[in-house]
Structure 1
Amino acid sequence: MDPRDVEYEPVSVKAVLAEMKDTAELLIDLSYSAVLHRSTDIAEEVLELEDRMDVLQLQARMSLLMAARTPDDAEALAPVLGVVGAAEKISDAAGDIAKIVLEDIGLPDAMRAALPEAVETVVRGTVAADSAYAGETLAAVNMETETGVRVIAIRRQGDWITNPDHETTLEAGDVVLLRGLEEGIATVYETATGTAYEPPEISESTIEDLERAVDSIVLMKNMSELAVDLAYGAVLFDSEGVAEEVAELEAEVDALESRFEAWTLRAASRVEDPISLRGLMHLAGATEVISDAALEISEGVLRGMDTHPVVAAAVEESDEIIVRLTVGAGSPLANATLGDKMVRTETGMRVIAVRRPDGGEWVVSPGPATKLTPGDVIIAKGTRAAAEQLSELAGEPQDYHD
């Protein structure tokens, strides 16, 4: 739909915000995957979704304007408009990343060598008529459990399904977006499409300054994505502590961009074709915009403004939910590391932050070596089924609100 054709109609703001969150996160995945695979197909899907986001943000803004009838309404809804605008910024940044591929701006192979370490593989394929998946629900094919690959979105006759669940049926002709490790991707892609999966070819750089620039941009990407996750968590749990971590991450991304620019300029004198570095500059700029957008999402919390219930409800209903759990004294997680219990592998949940007991310090982006203790508060992201598994491990019921 052309955004210029959108007219006001009553819509559920909660549903629109949930779809905007899902779409923004999907766009980040797809845009970097388009760069990694030099895939014009995936890049074009990004622009299609960017157009969809334009429509969603207009619908959300019109509904919010209609709802603001008093100064108190305006004060309560102002942070919601901030969340809408931030999701739109993420969408625009993802579109800019996709254009690196579509406009052949140029990107050194060193970038593609580094990205596989930073992202799970995302591929696009069309379900063949004779595929074993055609006509089956996601629950029936049990794809995620058996292969570790997840269908993150489906485009069917021009319409998007951005939150497919176990009841969603795959149909012949569906364009599916798959995310997971390459071993599983190869199996699922061939089963779905009937053709073999061909991983991207990569090569290493021998220019030290260029390697440093690439390392910086990969770190910027990881920090920006984490900032977005934490920002939604800050809004959901009305947590000023989490919002402050978002602000710290945004400041670090700014500092990394400055160092990235210096290393890229030094590398320009040593590469055969300096024009090939233009794509790196575009990628860094778009990544920095994503971190800025994360800060905008959490700005209301930082300013002491109460989170509007519609935003928390939208985050709850989105594709990948965010949960907060407390590690029980007798739980399997108590006094064990995340790696010991293989939390990511066994449950599919990604722990994005841990707060030590009694309002202690935050551990942002914990790794396999991070040890959990009784009373630790975990903020994690994943599917509802995965959240239930993690809840059982933690020995505490899931918590969506303060």
Structure 2
Amino acid sequence: MAGHVEYEPASVKDLLAEMKDTAELLIDLSYSAVLHGSDEIAAEVLALEERMDVLQLRARMSIMLAARNPDEAETLAPVLGIIGAAEKISDAAGDIAKVVREDIGVPNAIRTALPEAVETLVRAELDAGSDYTGRTLGDVNMETETGVRVIAIRREDGDWILNPDRETTLRGGDVLLLRGPEGGVETVYETATGTAYEPPEYAEAEVEDLERAVDSLVLMKNMSELAVDLAYGSVLFDSEDIAAEVVELEAEVDALKSRFEAWVLRAAKDMDDPVNLRGLVHLATSTEVISDAALEISEGVLRGLDTHVVVQEAVEESDEVIVRVEVAEGSDLAGTTLGEAEVKTETGMRVIAIRRPESHLGEEKTYTTSVHPSDEWVVQPGPETKVRAGDVLIAKGTRAGSDRLADLAGQVE
């Protein structure tokens, strides 16, 4: 049973930032729980879901006290929408975790496809005798040496550290949430726990229609995650352009869910036990809720409501930006790959998605939209992703980096 929650003076800005980080971590953990069939990771999701419940109650209390007149109420209304949407994301992630906790049927095909969609994410309890214990993350230098990063830590007393940095000290008994390539995860897990890492086993899809259903679900997952990322970016930087991309992504997830349902129904006739498809249906429903919540986060920007001061303060204090840049004909980026152009090294910006004005068949995994049939998305592009004139790059990084990326893309002030 949830504990009693009392009002505590707190910055709405800080609460919103913590809710954002918690929501994004919940999405990561919930899908990883399904991928690994891990009750332990699913339990962490449910613990974080309870934490989110407390955060949203505290944020609502603070906002109610802040609304002193009609003008304040008008500017605070979108903030309430952001809080409600973050709670929906949390609940949806909890529902995904319950697919594992309650042993709702999930076909093995989902565990074949999801490794292509997510990095390996595991839970490791730090042994008191580990080489990592008592050292900072900067001293351990884990990400540089193994490619693995600690995305969150749960202390023995139940406190969470989201986005730990180089100064964070690791303690025996900490629960580390590790993310990275499987080879690196294996090394870090064994060093942290003193026990061997056992990777999950994957099985091929036995039914062609089921494979198509799983592919649709993976696309829904990727687009929903991207929509959440862009939604927060649109609010933090008061960007109608970014909010417009969220609208399109949400519509695409709806269209994908319709395709998914058709493939699942077709696959059911060839399954020995169609009940095993229940988990897939739960996953798809929860994934759609996440994309709907992303749209709710952007709603205030889309309706032209003024950004409240608490959000403006968050923007002013943050050096991170999310930008939308169109690649010009004849620019340094046009006709090259992200790796060849050394975009991340040269600009410090990470390209998280590319929307293309026309389809290029036969390349890496893309998805042609139904809202704008001539468009296609490349979600999670890599170094080999080729960039063309007219491509719209969506990237995250520093303000200075965004200017350098615009230069590479041939954007002129």
- Smaller-chain TM-score range? 0.7 to 0.9
Q: CA deviation at 1:350?
A: 3.5
For the residues of structure 2 that align with 1:362 and 1:242, how far apart are their CA atoms?
A: 16
**TM score, norm. by length of structure 2:** 0.85
Partner SS, residue 5 of structure 1: coil
For the residues of structure 1 that align with 2:403 and 2:243, how far apart are their CA atoms?
A: 27
Asked if 1:381 is matched to 2:396, the reply is yes
For the residues of structure 2 that align with 1:76 and 1:161, how far apart are their CA atoms?
A: 31
Larger mean Cα displacement after TM superposition, 142-151 or 81-90: 142-151
Note closer, same or farther for the CA distance 1:239–1:228 as it changes in structure 2 (3 Å cut).
same
Matched-pair contact (CA < 8 Å) for 2:36–2:200? yes
For the residues of structure 2 that align with 1:34 and 1:153, how far apart are their CA atoms?
A: 15
The superposition leaves residues 160-180 of structure 1 with CA deviations (integer Å, 9 ceiling, x where unpaired) of 111211110111111000111
For the residues of structure 1 that align with 2:334 and 2:129, how far apart are their CA atoms?
A: 48
Note closer, same or farther for the CA distance 1:380–1:7 as it changes in structure 2 (3 Å cut).
same
**Aligned letter for 2:42?**
A
Residue in 2 that maps onto 1:195: 195
Partner SS, residue 351 of structure 2: strand
Residue in 2 that maps onto 1:287: 287
Q: CA deviation at 1:198?
A: 1.2
Partner SS, residue 201 of structure 1: coil
**Aligned letter for 2:395?**
A
The 5-angstrom pairing of residues 326-337 of structure 1 reads 336-337=336-337
The 5-angstrom pairing of residues 220-235 of structure 1 reads 220-235=220-235
**Aligned letter for 1:220?**
M
**Aligned letter for 2:387?**
K
Q: CA deviation at 1:344?
A: 6.1
For the residues of structure 1 that align with 2:195 and 2:348, how far apart are their CA atoms?
A: 28
Matched-pair contact (CA < 8 Å) for 2:335–2:386? no
Share of identical aligned residues, percent?
A: 70
**Aligned letter for 1:303?**
R
Q: CA deviation at 1:85?
A: 0.6
Matched-pair contact (CA < 8 Å) for 1:332–1:393? no
Residue in 2 that maps onto 1:116: 115
How many residues are matched?
A: 385
Structure 1, unmatched stretches of 5+, are: 397-402
Partner SS, residue 179 of structure 2: strand
Matched-pair contact (CA < 8 Å) for 1:234–1:298? yes
For the residues of structure 2 that align with 1:259 and 1:395, how far apart are their CA atoms?
A: 37
Residue in 1 that maps onto 2:411: none
Residue in 2 that maps onto 1:299: 299
Residue in 1 that maps onto 2:68: 69
Asked if 1:208 is matched to 2:217, the reply is no
For the residues of structure 1 that align with 2:77 and 2:187, how far apart are their CA atoms?
A: 47
Residue in 1 that maps onto 2:365: none
Matched-pair contact (CA < 8 Å) for 2:137–2:170? yes
The superposition leaves residues 249-278 of structure 1 with CA deviations (integer Å, 9 ceiling, x where unpaired) of 111111111111111111111111111100
Residue in 2 that maps onto 1:185: 185
For the residues of structure 1 that align with 2:210 and 2:143, how far apart are their CA atoms?
A: 37
For the residues of structure 2 that align with 1:291 and 1:196, how far apart are their CA atoms?
A: 37
Q: CA deviation at 1:394?
A: 3.9
Matched-pair contact (CA < 8 Å) for 1:47–1:95? yes
For the residues of structure 1 that align with 2:324 and 2:286, how far apart are their CA atoms?
A: 33
**Aligned letter for 1:146?**
E
**Aligned letter for 1:135?**
G
For the residues of structure 1 that align with 2:346 and 2:106, how far apart are their CA atoms?
A: 36
**Aligned letter for 2:219?**
L
Q: CA deviation at 1:378?
A: 5.5
Matched-pair contact (CA < 8 Å) for 1:232–1:315? no
Matched-pair contact (CA < 8 Å) for 1:352–1:364? no
Note closer, same or farther for the CA distance 1:315–1:163 as it changes in structure 2 (3 Å cut).
farther
Larger mean Cα displacement after TM superposition, 235-244 or 159-168: 235-244
Residue in 2 that maps onto 1:52: 51
For the residues of structure 1 that align with 2:38 and 2:346, how far apart are their CA atoms?
A: 31
Note closer, same or farther for the CA distance 1:234–1:141 as it changes in structure 2 (3 Å cut).
same
Larger mean Cα displacement after TM superposition, 84-93 or 309-318: 309-318
For the residues of structure 1 that align with 2:270 and 2:340, how far apart are their CA atoms?
A: 45
The superposition leaves residues 28-58 of structure 1 with CA deviations (integer Å, 9 ceiling, x where unpaired) of 0000000000100000000000000000000
**TM score, norm. by length of structure 1:** 0.87
For the residues of structure 1 that align with 2:399 and 2:242, how far apart are their CA atoms?
A: 23
Residue in 1 that maps onto 2:134: 135
Residue in 1 that maps onto 2:18: 19
Give the root-mean-square deviation of aligned CA atoms.
Answer: 3.1
Matched-pair contact (CA < 8 Å) for 2:220–2:288? yes
Note closer, same or farther for the CA distance 1:376–1:237 as it changes in structure 2 (3 Å cut).
farther
1:369 to 385, 389, 398: 385
Note closer, same or farther for the CA distance 1:394–1:350 as it changes in structure 2 (3 Å cut).
closer
Note closer, same or farther for the CA distance 1:206–1:378 as it changes in structure 2 (3 Å cut).
closer
Structure 2, unmatched stretches of 5+, are: 357-373, 408-413
The superposition leaves residues 290-347 of structure 1 with CA deviations (integer Å, 9 ceiling, x where unpaired) of 00000001011111112224235447878x9544497999x98687431324546999
Larger mean Cα displacement after TM superposition, 363-372 or 228-237: 363-372
